[in-house]
Amino acid sequence: MGSSDPDAIGATKQDMLSHLYFCHCCLVHETIIQTFSQVVLDFRGNHRLHNRVVPQKGYEISAVIYEAGFERFPTLVFQDLDNNLTGTSNPGTIDYARPAFNELQKTVNQIKERGIACKASTSGLSTTTVEEEPLGTIITWNHQCGINLEPSVTTNRLNLGSMTNVISVMTLLLFTKPSTILAMELTSIKLSAPAMMLVNNEEVTERPAYERFIASFSIDKKRFRSPQSDLGPDAARFLSNSLIRRNAALHGGKSLARIGRPHTFSEGFAGSTTSAMQSEIQYLEQIRKHQRLLEEMRRKMKAWIIEKKGVMIQCKLYVLSVMSFCVLLVAGGITVGATVGNRIQGVDPFNITTYAWVFAAFVVLVAKSVRVHE
């Protein structure tokens, strides 16, 4: 028999609510610990965990959200301290990254305003302290929201000036890493799962539609940027100097030869005027080389006959040779069947004809598989 004591029933309900509450708190606590542990590890860098020597050319941390494809779907790419690239194009993850980029924009604006106010207040002073000396750490950013996103040819640049500003910006920038965002997204799903079970399917609302946005934040040191500006046209570049940052070339609709390839970068890493002109000449020569290669491939492709379900390649001599051999087999089989007659006892001469026909079909099949591959 079950207990009908109201106090016992109330105690049972209280225990269940307490258990659910503590499970909820444990889930939130675990997520916070995992997220901040990952951020701290990103601050340290994997080179210390593997006893590697810290590179002397500085560092770079970048996060870029750009629109890819004909449908312009947003894609997030992140580069950490060890120059490892991670990315995602999941719309839900992109939406979860939006607050981090918004806070980055607010933080950079506040640092910029404080710097302007500090310069105005100390314009008559000539003394500087060690903490006020510039660190050579610069952040470049471009953040746009709205329906009609116009690609920006120039981005903002700001010398962070102090280690406090560097840590403030770097912490928020590390929260744009796809793995960190995914952990927070999964936690949000786990926290909302019990509530979603109590709601009818008809009452479940869809994910809200946010406005489009593109963002590009990169923090690096001057010692890191200098070697990047000296790289050749075919050298591997880091995320802040990569093709996806060239919005003017990708979506601007302008001629690359007219605006110049170095100017398609948002920030323009060209050092002096002479080196910039030489670099532009090299880029234009590389573009002309690729255009000539493209024209050569286009001439070869003109001979192709493109159908709805395949591509027909012109190889008349090969086809003519195979068909001639198969015709000889078929004709020889018919000739043997018609001329041998009853000369061979117990053997139907048309069996030889059938064998010749099957062999001819097999030759056609093999010859086709040699030239056609799926």
Are 223 and 88 part of one and the same domain? yes
CA distance 195 to 191: 8
Domain match, 243 and 351 both? no
Say whether both 220 and 153 belong to one domain. Answer: yes
For residue 356, what are the contacts with CB-CB under 8 A and spacing of at least 6? 329, 330, 332, 333, 336
298 domain-assigned: no
Q: What is the mean pLDDT of each run of 10 residues along the chain (374 residues)?
A: 52 78 79 77 60 56 80 83 84 86 90 73 47 67 72 71 86 88 79 60 57 82 63 62 57 40 44 55 79 86 70 78 90 83 74 86 87 65
State the Cα–Cα distance between residues 24 and 324, nearest whole angstrom: 78
Examine the domain organization and report whether 250 and 353 are in the same domain: no
Structural domain count, the chain: 2
Q: For position 260, what pLDDT does the model report?
A: 43
User: Is the same domain home to 235 and 316?
Assistant: no
Q: Indicate the pTM of the whole model.
A: 0.54
pLDDT at 336: 82
Are 175 and 251 contained in the same domain? yes
Q: Which domain holds residue 335?
A: 311-371
H/E run at residue 337: helix 316-340
SS3 category, 106: helix
Q: Name the DSSP class of 21.
A: H
- 334 plus 252 within the same structural domain: no
- The answer on 109 and 235 residing in a single domain is yes
Query: Three-state DSSP class for 61?
Result: strand
Which of 217, 249, 269 is the C-terminal boundary of a domain? 269
Q: Is residue 12 part of a domain?
A: no
What is the pLDDT, as a whole number, of residue 49? 45
CA–CA dist 62, 182 (Å, integer): 18
Residue 2 lies in a domain: no
DSSP assignment letter at 201: G
Which residue in 40, 50, 170, 160 sits closest to 100, CA to CA? 170
Q: Is residue 281 part of a domain?
A: no
Positive or negative: CA dihedral 119, 100, 251, 60: positive
Same domain, 361 and 223: no
Tell me if 139 sits within 8 A of 219, measured CB to CB.
Answer: yes
Task: Say what the pLDDT of residue 264 is.
Answer: 46
**Is there a domain that residue 202 lies in?**
no
Is residue 17 included in any domain, yes or no? Answer: no
Same domain, 339 and 260: no
